[in-house]
Amino acid sequence: MERQMKISVLGLNKAFESRARLGIMSVLMVNDSADFTTLKQLLELTDGNLASHARALEEQGFIACEKRFVGRKPNTIYRATEKGRESFKEHLVALEQFIKEQK
Amino acid sequence: MDNKEAIRDIKDIRSMMERSSRFLSVSGWGVAVAGLIAILAAWVAYSIFCDGTLFGDTHYLWEYKTRVAVFGSLVLVVLCGTIVFVSSVLLARRNGVKFVFDKTMRRTVFNFSVPLLAGGILCLALVMNGHYGLTSSMMLIFYGLALINCHHFSHPVLGTLGYLELLLGLIDSFVVTHALLLWAIGFGLLHVIFGVYLIVVNRKS
């Protein structure tokens, strides 16, 4: 029992602990890609906030970003990487486990 | 992290996944009002065509009446569509969501429109060739298929409504005499019921 607890706590990924990062990953799990504006509106974040959280996830290799121009406006498109998907799934399993054990 | 936090995280993840992949701003009020208009229209049509089998009688004014009916229904479709659209914009604004023509909405509209347009064109062809008998069931069937086709991208309950419309349409294709009644149930009554259901659901969230 004790051993199991430790494993599940380890399974919770620090990288997903912030609300914003959890949100970004959730959106990118069910959509092939999402652009900066869509993410900003969905998660109700400011430009700077979203940019910094997205950069953090990108540095960990969980998401990939691609900068494009629509007309003259820059537009960034985000995608979850294979590594990001796997890690997020593991995080979800750990969350589930955590809730079960607390009951 | 404690248990409550973990549960809240899971809830957040679920709602984010749902909100970003489904177009949920469908206004119950708009749908219910559209249903009422359809019932009213069916009643007006009944009083014009007297015997209730919409295109069935061989009255001397028949061709004129048919034109009025076809034109009237086109106006109605546009009117109801506009009402549902405008009320959905208002609903989104009330919920503080920006009503933009985003990916979820594009997908919903596209998947809804394809069967509906095909059905509409087919009905037009039927009317132009004088096959009036099956138009009402065709309308119900194709409308049902349109709803079934788009419900994965929008409110799940649209699927239930779609299957009911489909069933009514198929019944209608066998029952010749009560076309207008079945039409009024499908486009009127069902919309009022589902409109009220959506109002309740939207209020809860």
A52-102 pLDDT, tens digit each: 999 999 999 999 999 888 788 888 899 999 999 999 998 888 888 888 887
Distance set, CA B103 to CA A38, A45, B106, B142 (Å)? 9, 19, 5, 24
- Best of A45, A99, A103 to disrupt the B interface (most B CBs within 10 Å) is A99
Looking at chain B from residue 143 to 202, which residues have their Cβ under 8 Å from any Cβ of chain A? none
Q: Which helix (H) or strand (E) holds A67?
A: strand A63-70
Predicted pLDDT of residue A52: 93
Q: Are the beta carbons of A95 and B10 separated by less than 8 Å?
A: yes
Distance set, CA A81 to CA A22, A24, A67, A78, A93 (Å)? 15, 13, 16, 10, 18
Q: CA-nearest residue of chain A to B6?
A: A95
- Residue A5's pLDDT band, with cuts at 50, 70 and 90, is very low
> Which residues in chain A have their CB less than 8 angstroms from residue B16's CB?
22-23, 26-27, 42-43
In chain A the domains, ranked by start, together with CATH numbers, are 2-102 (1.10.10.10)
Q: Are the beta carbons of B16 and A26 separated by less than 8 Å?
A: yes
Kindly state whether A59 is in contact with chain B, defined as any CB-CB distance less than 8 angstroms: no
> Which residues in chain A have their CB less than 8 angstroms from residue B106's CB?
none
Cα–Cα distance for residue pair B180/B3, rounded to 1 Å: 57
Cα–Cα distance for residue pair B62/B60, rounded to 1 Å: 5
- Cβ atoms of B132 and B54 within 8 Å: the answer is yes
B186: helix, strand or coil:
helix
- Residue A11's pLDDT band, with cuts at 50, 70 and 90, is low
Kindly state whether B100 is in contact with chain A, defined as any CB-CB distance less than 8 angstroms: yes
Q: Are the beta carbons of A95 and B3 separated by less than 8 Å?
A: no
Domain regions of chain B by residue span: 25-204
Q: For B54, left (φ over 0), alpha (ψ -120 to 50), or beta?
A: alpha
- Cβ atoms of B183 and B172 within 8 Å: the answer is yes
Q: Please, what sign has the CA dihedral across residues A69, A75, A81, A85? A: negative
pLDDT > 50? residue A3? no
In angstroms, the separation between the Cα of residue A28 and the nearest Cα of chain B is 8
> Which residues in chain A have their CB less than 8 angstroms from residue B97's CB?
41
The per-residue pLDDT of chain A, averaged, comes to 83
């005499």: which residue's tokens?
A: B177
Looking at chain B, how many residues does it have?
205
Kindly state whether A98 is in contact with chain B, defined as any CB-CB distance less than 8 angstroms: yes
| DSSP-derived secondary structure letter, B52 | S
Cα–Cα distance for residue pair B186/A28, rounded to 1 Å: 38
Q: CA-nearest residue of chain B to A99?
A: B3
Kindly state whether B17 is in contact with chain A, defined as any CB-CB distance less than 8 angstroms: yes
Cβ atoms within 10 Å of A74's Cβ, excluding its own: 10
* The token pair that represents A87 in the structure block: 């890690």
Q: CA-nearest residue of chain B to A93?
A: B10
Q: Are the beta carbons of B9 and A43 separated by less than 8 Å?
A: no
Predicted pLDDT of residue B1: 64
Closest by Cβ to B12, choosing from A12, A19, A29 = A19
In tens digits, chain B (205 residues) has pLDDT values of 677 888 888 888 888 888 888 888 888 999 999 999 999 988 888 777 755 454 555 555 666 777 777 788 889 889 999 999 899 888 877 766 666 677 788 889 999 999 999 999 998 898 888 777 788 899 999 999 999 999 988 888 999 999 999 999 999 999 877 888 898 999 999 999 999 999 998 887 6
Q: Please, what sign has the CA dihedral across residues A60, A22, B18, A65? A: negative
Predicted pLDDT of residue B71: 83
